[in-house]
Amino acid sequence: MKLALHLTLHAHIPGLWRSQGPARSWLARTTKDVYLPLLRILDDLGGLLGGSGPAFTLALTPPLVAALEDDAHRDAIARELERSVEQRRASAQRLEGDPLHPTALFYLKRAQALHQDFTQRYRRDIMAALRHHARQGRISLIPSLASSAPLPMLATEALRRAELRATRRWAEQKLEVPWGPVWLPACAYSPELARELALEGVTSATLDAQSWRGASAAPVQGLLAPLRDQGVTFFARHPELCAPLRWAKEESSWQRDLGCAEALRDPDPWQHMEPGHEGLLCLRQGEDLAPIYRPARAAEQARRMAVAWLSEARALAHSTAQRLELETPSISVAWGAQLWGGAWFEGPIFLKEVLQLAAQSADVELRAFGASLDLWPRLQKAAPGAGSWHPGVFAAWLDPSAAWLQRHARRLEVQLVSAVRARADLARGAGRLGAPGQDRAAAGAILRLLQLQGEDLAVLRRQDGLVGGLAEDVEHLLRGAALEVEALQRGARADGASQVHVDLLPEYLAADILVGL
Amino acid sequence: MPDLNFDSLSYGLRQQDSVDWVPRDPDFAWVMWEIRAQSVQAAVERLGVHAAGASLVLRLRCHQERPQGPPLARVLDIPLSSWCGQRLVPLGIPGAEHLCSVGVRAMDDPGGFFVPLVHSAPLRAPRHSPGEGELEWEVIA
């Protein structure tokens, strides 16, 4: 018996649509902490990966890819890396003779290596390096839904299918990957979506285990095999094995004083560090509560955690597979990419160790999500239930503290679809296909509405106290969308989406939102 | 709960009554409704002699066929204090199909005189546990 291990890193980009300053800072830090270490893993493991197909999957969003390919953002990344080197050099000089000096030197060398990787090894082009590894068959790149809007929150089939069509166009033309497997934001799903996914050519998606608990029939192979509905293959995200970050928080050097959410949105999380130690992750929660961060020991602990994690995956697969008489158990694990090296400093070490151990193992096979149907001669037909990776199905979006937006957003969506349909009828009557100015307005309104429904925004708006200005941002988006829908209804040529996700406009201009009507 | 004044953006100039909902979990759904004054007035007129004390209610119906025995069916009326609003409502049976209507109900006969103004699209409640569907397999080519 061989365990098929599907690892997916989903790399969305919260906050990029907001003001350019924090967004650039966020991208720069994420590139430094996550994407450069990830590329190093791929470089180091090289030929060990990809023997029987891509070893893992990276789900990318259009805004992230556009930012990584944008010169202004690349300049910001380079500046952040230079700043990091200078800051750590100053710390190392100041701490000469201090017990923290070896740690300071570790950070200095690491910062210098990252700067060199970005400017020289990868020539400032993260996407080119990722595409290279994809061409070498080491990873599989798949699209995440274009705007990160959770599909079950959208009111109309027209807009849901427009989102899928826009994502498809982007995936085929800009990400340059074949259309089929997609990443659904927050694994948010409801059973009605299977038909729409199938109609738009989606072949596979990962859902949360919640969807298995609410399936139309009992999944007789548990979480260890996909379900099929309407010709789409659905993989279950295994809840227990998605938890190494919890272990890290408890046992390793999680940036516990910052908190994951804080680290993701704070323009400069280092400012929270102890005075005099800025720029150093020097406090560590270990078995002996050692006050000084010791990189070598922390790295060794991350490797031990990787061994333990893989052993747990094996044990879980073997015991369940024997009970269910499964020949090829499959485990799907999906993690937020930005947590690996961002929130959990040693995350890349853990990930590299897991990949290396699995690639060298005779009883584990690394598989790309969506590319493993050959493993099963048959799959159970059942409709997965509603679910998301947030507790309580859709409670993250529909808690009263967050759901107030739905009435406005869904109403505007219905009005928008109606206005676009009326415009199309008028255009047909006049013997022309459409007015470019109004198409742009429609695309702008769609984008703004989808931004309103974006998963991070939905979760963050429950915590307005933590996010300065977020309520104003939401109101700004909502008013902008209302103005654009009103302009459409009046037949005005509004210049929509001038500031919001401009890179996505061509995709939405091309997506015929009337297709679902 | 924050709310936004959209009067200046033509929001609120409603052309028709509406009720929309999204399931939150197996037990609750988030309902959003907007009813015009003239619709309520027309409904009250239809109630005629029963109109005194009539009130606006959200009527939830759920229905589930069962392999054996009669189908399960429940009706729940929730009084509404506003012609335009949103709230969580309890769902009747996890996994069952639900319908929601906003209408005017006569005070003296909760089970009878109800004038619906607008109906929602059907909504299937999420399940707590897998359904009783038959085991089916699909051969993978």
Distance from CA of B7 to the nearest CA of A (A): 11
Average pLDDT of chain A to the nearest whole number: 78
ipTM value for the complex: 0.87
Chain B residue at shortest CA distance from A411: B20
Q: What is the DSSP secondary structure assignment for residue B110, as one 8-state letter? A: T
The reply to whether residue A400 touches residue B1, judged by beta carbons under 8 angstroms, is yes
CA dihedral A252, A255, A260, A262 (to 10 degrees): 170
Tokens matching residue A367: 């598989």
Q: Which of A500, A501, A503, A516 lies closest to A416 in space, CA to CA? A: A516
pLDDT digits (tens, 9 = 90+) for A252-283: 443 333 322 233 333 333 444 433 333 344 33
What's the average model confidence in pLDDT over A95-104?
A: 79
pLDDT digits (tens, 9 = 90+) for A239-251: 888 876 655 555 4
Buried b / exposed e across A273-288, counting CB within 10 Å, b at 16+? beeebbbbbbbbebee
Distance from CA of B8 to the nearest CA of A (A): 10
Torsional sign, CA A150, A155, A160, A166: negative
Using DSSP bridges, classify how beta strands A181-182 and A204-208 pair: parallel, antiparallel or unpaired: parallel
Tokens matching residue B25: 């979990």
Judging contacts by C-beta atoms under 8 Å, the chain B residues touching residue A383 are 133
Judging contacts by C-beta atoms under 8 Å, the chain B residues touching residue A380 are 135-138
Give pLDDT, residue A257: 32
pLDDT digits (tens, 9 = 90+) for A9-67: 998 665 544 444 455 677 888 898 889 999 999 999 988 887 778 899 999 988 888 88
The reply to whether residue A379 touches residue B137, judged by beta carbons under 8 angstroms, is yes
Judging contacts by C-beta atoms under 8 Å, the chain A residues touching residue B67 are none
The reply to whether residue B95 touches residue A214, judged by beta carbons under 8 angstroms, is yes
Is the minimum CB–CB distance between B88 and chain A shorter than 8 Å? Answer: yes
What's the average model confidence in pLDDT over B115-120?
A: 94
The reply to whether residue B25 touches residue A395, judged by beta carbons under 8 angstroms, is yes
pLDDT for residue A100 is more than 80: no
Out of B25, B30, B140, whose CB is closest to A378? B140
pLDDT for residue B19 is more than 80: yes
Percentages helix, strand, coil for chain B (3-state, rounded to 5) are 10, 45, 45
Question: Cα separation of A341 and A345, whole Å?
Answer: 4
Question: Cα separation of A444 and A441, whole Å?
Answer: 5
Question: Cα separation of A247 and A372, whole Å?
Answer: 29
Give the rounded percent of residues in chain B with a pLDDT score beyond 70. Answer: 86
Q: pLDDT higher for A368 or A503?
A: A368
Give the rounded percent of residues in chain A with a pLDDT score beyond 90. Answer: 35
Give the count of beta carbons closer than 10 Å to the beta carbon of residue B49. 8
Give pLDDT, residue A352: 95
pLDDT for residue B5 is more than 50: no
Give the rounded percent of residues in chain A with a pLDDT score beyond 70. Answer: 74
Contact criterion met (CB below 8 Å) for A295 and A103: yes
Tokens matching residue A438: 């109004």
Q: pLDDT higher for B34 or A502?
A: B34
Give pLDDT, residue A439: 65
Judging contacts by C-beta atoms under 8 Å, the chain A residues touching residue B87 are 400
Contact criterion met (CB below 8 Å) for A252 and A302: yes
Lowest mean pLDDT of A310-314, A469-473, B54-58, name the range: A469-473
Judging contacts by C-beta atoms under 8 Å, the chain A residues touching residue B133 are 215-217, 382-383
Listed as own residue / partner, the contacts of A250-253 with beta carbons closer than 8 Å and 24 or more positions apart are: A250/A285, A251/A285, A251/A286, A251/A287, A251/A301, A251/A305, A252/A284, A252/A285, A252/A286, A252/A298, A252/A301, A252/A302, A252/A305, A252/A344, A252/A346, A253/A281, A253/A284, A253/A285, A253/A286, A253/A293, A253/A298, A253/A344, A253/A345, A253/A346
Give pLDDT, residue B24: 95
Q: pLDDT higher for A271 or A145?
A: A145
Give pLDDT, residue B9: 39
Contact criterion met (CB below 8 Å) for A197 and A205: yes
Lowest mean pLDDT of A23-27, A332-336, B135-139, name the range: A23-27
Quote the pTM value: 0.87
3-state secondary structure A362-431: CCEEEECCCCCHHHCCEEEECCCCCECCCCCCCHHHHCHHHHHHHHHHHHHHHHHHHHHHHHHHHHHHCC
Question: Cα separation of A201 and A45, whole Å?
Answer: 34
Question: Cα separation of A249 and A285, whole Å?
Answer: 9
Burial of residue A350 (CB within 10 Å: 0-12, 13-18, 19+) is buried
Q: Which of A356, A382, A498 lies closest to A49 in space, CA to CA? A: A356
pLDDT digits (tens, 9 = 90+) for A373-419: 778 888 999 999 999 988 889 998 888 777 878 888 888 888 888 88
Distance from CA of A420 to the nearest CA of B (A): 17
Q: Which of A335, A416, A501, A443 lies closest to A154 in space, CA to CA? A: A416
Is the minimum CB–CB distance between B93 and chain A shorter than 8 Å? Answer: no
Distance from CA of A57 to the nearest CA of B (A): 22
Out of B26, B30, B131, whose CB is closest to A216? B131
Give pLDDT, residue A479: 76
Q: In A51-157, which ranges are E strands?
A: 56-60, 139-143
Distance from CA of A16 to the nearest CA of B (A): 24
Interface test with A, best of B8, B9, B93, B139 (most A CBs within 10 A): B9
Give pLDDT, residue A285: 35
The reply to whether residue B22 touches residue A394, judged by beta carbons under 8 angstroms, is yes
